Structure 1
Amino acid sequence: MKLHTLKPAEGATKTRKRIGRGQGSGRGGTSTKGHKGQQSRSGAKYRPWFEGGQMPLYRRVPKYGFKNFNRVEYKAVNLDTIQELLEKYPTEELTHQYLKDHGIISSTKSLVKVLGRGEIKVKADIKLNKFSQSAKAAIEAAGGTATEV
């Protein structure tokens, strides 16, 4: 082994060119950034959606309609879903907590409306926020009660 044969271990050094380290680096002076302008300055960066000063897409696209901030949003649960749940996990009383425990809603604070798709054969007392007329009729026909909480 001689001094002129020594090499660093594989992966111990980086092979990328070091920018901004003087004239001897081969990229001195402007450090590959060109002359003047925003991108030549320190700390220069563009936002990802910046389009070089032209009118950006989010301002070119027309806006229309409106969002009603008084809107009350309900999670819809159909009778066939309730029937399946009651067959798998029988209970006398179906509440928000029951639906949360079985993964139908994510929070007990969610507003739930029961809709009339499908049919229900099991007698159950259902205590939720809203019921469609057909759902209420089907629940009562099965011998249960539909109570708005």
Structure 2
Amino acid sequence: MADEANKEELTPAQKAAATRAKNAAAKAAAASGDTAAEKPAASKPAAKKPAASESAAAASTPSTSAAARNSAAKSDDVAPRERVLKVHHLRPAAGSKKDRTRVGRGEGSKGKTAGRGTKGSKARYQVRPGFEGGQMPLHMRTPKLRGFKNPFRVEYQVVNLATLAELYPQGGDVTIDGLVARGAVRKNEKVKVLGNGDIAVKLNVAVDKVSGSAEQKILAAGGSIN
């Protein structure tokens, strides 16, 4: 009863001091118990346990290193394929390519009039080539040559009497096939003999056409025209 009366008489500060003293005593007792428990751990048998763990780690090391080697080998196999340059790796230099402006596709690309201005022939469809705004164009102002080129004309390959004298020095029959064989004319085209040159041998000419002067010279030399 006296102790209880003393406890009731303690002030709060005294109670706190007593509590701290009890806690300090408990900590000191726990510390002394820990040191007593640690002493057996310093004995030789306890010192051998780390050695056993080291041997176990050493035993497990080869398998780990083998796995590491395998993974390294796999990475060596894969790495060269990843470093191969492929077509899709090629890219143009930055700023070297610029997209063409597609006019009339919004306000950012001259969307309203598309760069043509307002009204007029140039703002609408294109003007035909040679149009000069309505005035008389140049191709109609220039003078023209008279006449025309007959679309039904007949064109002949020309052979002169001088050529026939070289090709037929002994005379003979002059035909289109013979002239083609001698390289004087082309085949499948008409042939006309003109009177340029002289002839002194007898020729029997059988071609498409013969001029008047050539005919006189051939007949004077004793030849004929078929």
**Greater helix share, 1 or 2?**
2
Indicate the residue corresponding to 1:131 in structure 2.
210
Q: Does 2:125 match 1:46?
A: no
- 1:4-54 Cα offsets, whole Å, 9 max, x none, are xx98337xx8647324133323x4432222222223224x2422x323321
Unpaired stretches in structure 2, ≥5 consecutive residues = 1-88
Indicate the residue corresponding to 1:3 in structure 2.
none
Q: TM (normalized to structure 1)?
A: 0.56
Structure having the higher Rg: 2
Q: Does 2:108 match 1:24?
A: yes
Q: Secondary structure at the match of 1:59?
A: helix
1:114 to 193, 206, 223: 193
Distance 2:157 2:147 in 1: 23
Unpaired stretches in structure 1, ≥5 consecutive residues = 1-5
- 1:45-84 Cα offsets, whole Å, 9 max, x none, are 422x323321022322345633485985543622234445
Q: Secondary structure at the match of 2:128?
A: coil
Deviation at 1:118, TM superposition (A): 2.0
Q: TM (normalized to structure 2)?
A: 0.41
Change (3 A) 1:17 1:72: closer
Change (3 A) 1:41 1:83: farther
Change (3 A) 1:40 1:62: same
- Contact persistence 1:115–1:135 (CA under 8 A): yes
Deviation at 1:124, TM superposition (A): 4.0
Distance 2:178 2:106 in 1: 70
Alignment RMSD: 4.1
- Contact persistence 2:201–2:221 (CA under 8 A): yes
Q: Secondary structure at the match of 1:92?
A: strand
Indicate the residue corresponding to 2:142 in structure 1.
61
Distance 1:40 1:76 in 2: 57
The alignment-based identity, stated in percent, is 36
**Greater strand share, 1 or 2?**
1
